[in-house]
Amino acid sequence: MSFTTLPFLILVGASVVLYYVVPKQCQWVLLLAASMVFYCVGGGKTVLYVFYTAATVYTATLALGHWNTLKRNAPKEDKKAITAKYKPHRRAVVAAACLANFVLLYVLKYWNFTADLLQPAVDVLIPGAQIPLSELVLPLGVSFFMFQSVGYVIDVYRDKYQPEKNFLKLLLFVSFFPQMVQGPISRFDALAPQLLAKRSVNYTDLKYGIQLVMWGYFKKLVIADRTAVLVNTVMDDPWSHSGSVLAFAIFFYCIQLYGDFSGGIDITRGVARMFGIDLAENFRQPIFSTSLTDFWRRWHITLGAWMRDYLFYPLSLSKPFGRLGKFTRKHIKGKLGKIIPTSLATFIIYFVIGIWHGANWRYVAFGFWNGAIITMSLLLAPKYVQWKEKLHINEDSRWWHLFQMVRTNILVFFGRYITRAPRFLTAVWMVKETFLHPHWPDLWNGTLMTLGLTGGDFLVIALGVLVLLCAEWYEEKHGSVRAMLETKSPLVQCVAILVPLVVLFCFGVLRADYISSDFIYKQF
């Protein structure tokens, strides 16, 4: 069930009305029912994977919670003994829960990719043998709900909070329908209490929710789906286009991806807000990033935070990495010896982020692209200081800030070649064509008008991006646009809802030959 379909809007509308009509103690049950309807309609039998994940983390956390309680209630002098006694069991339970989910995730998303890699070796060693391929259907948002659930298990292991003892309430946390398609990846202590709270109708929540949903649909329907026409036309046959057209298509893909993903998150957060639920922020004006590290702090924030808390810190603070750090500092002089452990952990993180997006060499390359640039920035940090001193650069000046933003967006731009091209080698060829055979006249000799968009479409995209940039700039400098609207008259607030609605119908849903595309992150 796509966010851009009428059944979804009917489900949301009916759920919001019923949520405030049913007895308050049943509100969470209504949310669970709506989530099951959403997933059964959109994913069919793959809803069983949601139950599987919920069951595995439920069982694991109950056991972990029991041991945590034993330790918490024990006399002070016995705590260390109890910790030592149950530590192997607790670790085994966490490992089992992680394996139960990540092995399934591997089979669903990566087994066929692995089989294709291993088949040539099998052909040599065992002629005629064929590695069986998985025919399992990939569930909606499988990476999102599995990562969210595994994070919950680890938090209970760390005794951050008590586990949920009601299976259906935990199932609601795993399957809350607005965030099933593309996140955000929520934390249990931030989301679960909101899901189970008892609420009355709140005009502000409904108003904010509707505004956020309208803004998300504007990004998706008016901007992203339009740019997708040109992007798909070029990328379906990149070899037929000049380097400048390829670069223009990647530029449009950057616009499409941001409008599609951030727009979907806005719809998610807006729908949740109608129920009084405030989901985690997932974007924070990434266009204003001053480094690639800063970009990943602003883009898909909840995925980056998950990787940081559950993978990067455990890796970099582990004993093997500690021993590696001592070895490299002793045997490799200078900055390189100090940053090798951190850089290795960074490479692992971005490798995981890369393959999280899909089983393809281009995603592996995308991870290494980001990891290599961030590592090089760490290694060259002392040189940057020297260069800035020699050039008398004022780090607080506007032009230097602008330079950093442009540099970062150029790096992100070239990274998008890797993720959008059909194959990694095609991405390399596209970059080469961009530099060696650009044929710049294609940008103004009418070639762009043959790629599926009209002059009116280009104008709508330009105006839409301008509106988007203005909103991003305001939020970067002054804070929330919605908070600013709250200080205005009711008439202005009403216009702020009606104008986007009219724009959506005129330039989105009702435009000629309109076909809404699926959300890009739905496949992840």
pLDDT digits (tens, 9 = 90+) for 374-410: 888 877 877 888 888 888 888 888 888 899 999 999 9
pLDDT of res. 508: 59
Question: Is it the case that residue 152 has pLDDT exceeding 90?
Answer: yes
pLDDT tier, 334 (very low <50, low <70, confident <90, very high otherwise): confident
Of the chain, the percentage scoring pLDDT greater than 90 comes to: 51
Q: What is the mean pLDDT of residues 72-84?
A: 79
Of the listed ranges 61-70, 466-475, 479-488, the one predicted with least confidence: 479-488
| Tokens matching residue 316 | 């970099």
Rg (CA), the chain: 25
Q: Of 20, 36, 33, which is closest to residue 198 (Cα–Cα)?
A: 20
- Give start and end residues of each alpha helix (H) in 218-242: 225-235
Q: What is the mean pLDDT of residues 164-174?
A: 96
Question: Could you give the CA distance from residue 469 to residue 56 in angstroms, rounded to a whole number?
Answer: 44
pLDDT of res. 506: 66
Domain boundaries, the chain: 6-201, 202-279+421-524, 305-405
pLDDT digits (tens, 9 = 90+) for 435-464: 999 999 999 999 999 998 989 889 989 988
pLDDT of res. 30: 96
Asked if 197 and 276 count as a contact pair (C-beta separation under 8 A), the reply is yes
Q: In Å, what is the CA distance from 486 to each residue of 60, 483, 523?
A: 45, 5, 36
Q: What is the mean pLDDT of residues 349-357?
A: 87
3-class SS of residue 368: helix
β-pair partners for 299 = 283
Where residue 3 falls (left for φ over 0; alpha for ψ -120 to 50; beta otherwise) is alpha
Q: Of 223, 281, 256, 274, which is closest to residue 480 (Cα–Cα)?
A: 281
Q: Say which residues have a Cβ less than 8 Å from residue 31's Cβ, sequence separation at least 6.
A: 15, 19, 172, 176, 177, 195, 275
Asked if 27 and 19 count as a contact pair (C-beta separation under 8 A), the reply is yes
pLDDT of res. 516: 58
pLDDT of res. 382: 77
| Tokens matching residue 147 | 């990562």
β-pair partners for 75 = none
Question: Could you give the CA distance from residue 108 to residue 139 in angstroms, rounded to a whole number?
Answer: 9
pLDDT tier, 513 (very low <50, low <70, confident <90, very high otherwise): low
CB atoms closer than 10 angstroms to residue 103: 11
β-pair partners for 28 = none
The pTM for the full model equals: 0.90
The mean of the pLDDT values for the chain is 88
CA 15 to centroid of chain Cα atoms: 26
More confident residue, 504 or 200: 200
The full length of the chain comes to: 524
CA 379 to centroid of chain Cα atoms: 28
Question: Could you give the CA distance from residue 447 to residue 443 in angstroms, rounded to a whole number?
Answer: 7
Amino acid at 483: A
Question: Could you give the CA distance from residue 424 to residue 246 in angstroms, rounded to a whole number?
Answer: 15
Q: Name residue, tokens 């807006």.
A: 270
CB atoms closer than 10 angstroms to residue 172: 25
Question: Is it the case that residue 485 has pLDDT exceeding 80?
Answer: no
Asked if 339 and 378 count as a contact pair (C-beta separation under 8 A), the reply is yes
| Tokens matching residue 140 | 């909606």
CA 188 to centroid of chain Cα atoms: 18
pLDDT digits (tens, 9 = 90+) for 234-252: 999 999 999 999 999 999 9
Question: Is it the case that residue 356 has pLDDT exceeding 90?
Answer: no
| Tokens matching residue 226 | 């339009």
Q: In Å, what is the CA distance from 308 to each residue of 188, 281, 302, 371, 484?
A: 17, 16, 10, 14, 33
Q: Of 136, 122, 153, which is closest to residue 53 (Cα–Cα)?
A: 153
pLDDT digits (tens, 9 = 90+) for 255-311: 999 999 999 999 999 999 999 999 999 999 999 999 998 999 999 999 999 999 999
Question: Is it the case that residue 521 has pLDDT exceeding 70?
Answer: no
Question: Could you give the CA distance from residue 254 to residue 260 in angstroms, rounded to a whole number?
Answer: 10
Q: What is the mean pLDDT of residues 1-22?
A: 90
Question: Is it the case that residue 523 has pLDDT exceeding 60?
Answer: no
Question: Could you give the CA distance from residue 136 to residue 167 in angstroms, rounded to a whole number?
Answer: 26
3-class SS of residue 3: coil
